[in-house]
Structure 1
């Protein structure tokens, strides 16, 4: 691990007794509470006398954990999550590959762990941390996390349905109509029922004054919903809806609870879970009050496979992500995006990420070489030849810069990271299932509820009237000459019924006024 010949901020006077990396080490000597990440690497040697740390109070300034596959990103998340929990800070982790559940169990002692601990000056103790396990909609292990279609909102739903800008605007119009009429969109069949109604002969006039909904666009939306359901995604939407405030809990011993969202069962639907993670974050943003600068975050949220969120995203969507990330800091939530290279994250979002942990990058192709150069340029001026260092890092090593207690970037430091104290492997299926069923949240969220909502209301019809006396059959007439005496269609009966006419007055008064939409179009609900 070589430093650049030009020296820079890490150079020190030879023969003065001051090590050449003294300036770098001094940049990580914080007075307040801090997390220990590892020890400084300099000229190929690890220096446990130069610990690399991150101030606890700066972890709501967001961060990035990046690096090629197999370089140790997941273990870095585990290391940071453990120390946050020990400091009383709740953590949210998305477990895409199914190997983070071990954070709930003490680690396995062994030669490699002891060797790493000795190299970085760590007093290693096998420790498990209080954990809750969740699953999207009950698919796979975990307490089910569900959202209603209403609260998920048109912007995020358009992203996951892969709609274009015109179709997204039409979906927003559909949500506006449902909100204003008090039609609750709990699951996807509710949304499908409202779309079908609004392109029916009876429903078309409902949107005529605000642009209308074309049959072609409605068809695309309905087909997208159907394809989405066929992928098994329908179970993610429904009730009981998950209250994201559950992520803010601490254990009886004062440690923060680590919430692990188990995603292996849906890892073939990457766009879905990345969008769902954004809903969780947007929901937290909606509900949490302003907190200002705290001595520790209320929650640190790790957003894994972050590049999937931004892939193919519209300008408006990216602006919403940027605004949410920028503003949620003042509500006491820190967000770490986890991906392969910084270029996976838009520049406006990257600019909000003050804490950086960059694992090794590989330069096997011209594209890899380009990504390497781009990554090196995103760091502050360094005493290292970063392109050389980034390709030479081993597993469990990273280049780090964080925000100091004064909010200024620390010197760039090549670092050998500490070993996690919890199990660096998944717990077995039986232990995971037992932990899920023992959770106090299991009884609250385990069973799905299908109550009356938009689908049922649009399917209702008045009770049939007594059969009239038989009369002579009439000759059929063209549709446009339909008389008032003819039996109205089912949709007409619904719209003209007292049930439907009173929706805006009764339910609309109660529900419609409570719904306003946040930056992301997610519904603001009264808890």
Structure 2
């Protein structure tokens, strides 16, 4: 293919109206052509995406570049910072000849800029701590967090049902333990009469699982006040706020991280109104190390993830998964991701 044909083909493929995010320039035989920019329409950012590639191929840079341009367009973002290398967004970069040369090559102007960044945390990492109540997690996610089987999960569901019927608060792990001990102890006869047989043999195991969860720092996470979704959707002086959730100490606690993510997605879907297709999304999430969510996930949980991914785009929310291999994401979820960036 000649240079002219290549440039013409790429220009036709990436020609559209409206604002866009610049990903780079098309390349032929190792040469980039600034006149053939590769862009992503802003109005399609709620159709989700995948950024994949081996370690060191530039996934994080792509994520940062997209987040910066979304902020400039007034779109808030939430970034999951597993490796601790996204905090630089809060400070202007340092000019360097290599940076200027690269941007000139792809036809893009660059100047050092800082963005409105807020750091969040689930643990003792620096940042505003996010919290949620046990009730907000729901029995399915809470059972998954405890790694329970079907029988044990049924007892967790009974705790939730009992608290709902009796209008009891279920805020933190202490609340859950007290109710669990009550319905399997002194109130067992009454609870059995009202709800059926109570599987008390699971009580000791669940209590041990709760102790393990507390040792992982989950006690800091569960409780009030719960985080509010509008806090993630702020616009500061025309720039979309970039919320960075610091998770560098969560790699050895993947279930807590992944369960929190699923709870947050479900909360977003439940609280945001239907908006249909918009000129730009209301919020875009970037989930790094996406395999932490999907590893060892049961089918019921995967079905819930797939459902949320399918439906949340109508709420104006886009989700981008970042991982080394596309196969880290289940096929049913992968099929819902409209944009895919593969780093070689």
TM-score above 0.5, yes or no: yes
CA deviations 1:226-262 (Å, max 9, x no partner) are: 11101222111011111122111100x2111011111
1:187 to 1:71, Cα distance in 2 relative to 1, 3 A: same
Distance 2:102 2:293 in 1: 35
Contact 1:28–1:51 under 8 Å retained in 2: yes
- Between the aligned partners of 2:280 and 2:298, the Cα distance in structure 1 is 34
Distance 1:133 1:201, change over 3 A: same
For the 8 Å contact 2:191–2:198, the answer to whether it is kept is: no
Over residues 77-106 of structure 1, what are the superposed CA-to-partner deviations in whole Å (9 max), with x where a residue is unaligned? 110000000001010111111111111111
Matches within 5 A, 1:150-189: 150-189=135-174
1:39–1:224 Cα change, 3 Å: same
Match of 2:323?
339
Q: What is the TM-score normalised by the length of structure 1? A: 0.63
Q: Is 1:106–2:92 an aligned residue pair?
A: yes
The reply on whether 1:84 has 2:98 as its aligned counterpart is no
What is the number of equivalent residue pairs in this alignment? Answer: 344
1:372-399 C-alpha deviation (Å, 9 max, x unpaired): xxxxxxxxxxxxxxxxxxxxxxxxxxxx
**Counting helix residues as a fraction of each chain, which structure ranks higher?**
2
8 Å contact kept, 2:7–2:35? no
Partners of 1:202 and 1:158 lie apart in 2 by: 22
- Structure showing greater radius of gyration is 1
- Identify unmatched segments of 5+ residues in structure 1: 1-10, 361-527
Q: Give the SS at the match of 2:158.
A: helix
Q: Is the Cα–Cα contact under 8 Å of residues 52 and 343 in structure 2 kept in the other structure? A: yes
Structure 2 unaligned spans of 5+: none
Say which structure is richer in strand. Answer: 2
- The secondary structure found in structure 1 opposite 2:249 is helix
Cα-to-partner distance string for 1:383-418 (whole Å, 9 max, x where unaligned): xxxxxxxxxxxxxxxxxxxxxxxxxxxxxxxxxxxx
Q: 1:255 and 1:341, CA in 2 relative to 1: closer, same or farther beyond 3 A?
A: same
Q: 1:132 aligns with which of 118, 135, 138?
A: 118
| Distance across 2 between alignment mates of 1:352 and 1:219 | 41
Give the RMSD, CA atoms, in angstroms. 1.5
Cα distance in 2 for residues equivalent to 1:148 and 1:349:
27
Summarize the alignment of residues 4-43 of structure 1 with structure 2, pairs less than 5 Å apart.
11=1, 18-43=4-29
Distance in 1, matches of 2:118 and 2:143, equals 30
CA distance in 2, matches of 1:118, 1:290: 41
Secondary structure of 1:60's counterpart equals: helix
Are positions 1:234 and 2:219 aligned together? yes
TM-score (norm 2): 0.96
SS at match of 2:46: coil
Task: Report if the CA contact (8 A) 1:97-1:267 is conserved.
Answer: no
Partner of residue 61, structure 2 = 75
Residue 281 (structure 1) aligned to one of 262, 265, 275: 265
Identify the match of residue 326 of structure 1 among 310, 326, 335: 310
Aligned positions of 1:114-513 closer than 5 A: 114-137=100-123, 139-251=124-236, 253-360=237-344
Further displaced range: 262-271 or 240-249: 262-271
Measure, in 2, the Cα distance between the counterparts of 1:288 and 1:282: 10
SS of corresponding position for 1:265 = coil
Contact 1:274 1:305 in 2 (8 A): no
Q: Tell me the alpha carbon deviations over residues 402-452 of structure 1, each in whole angstroms, 9 at most, x when there is no partner.
A: xxxxxxxxxxxxxxxxxxxxxxxxxxxxxxxxxxxxxxxxxxxxxxxxxxx
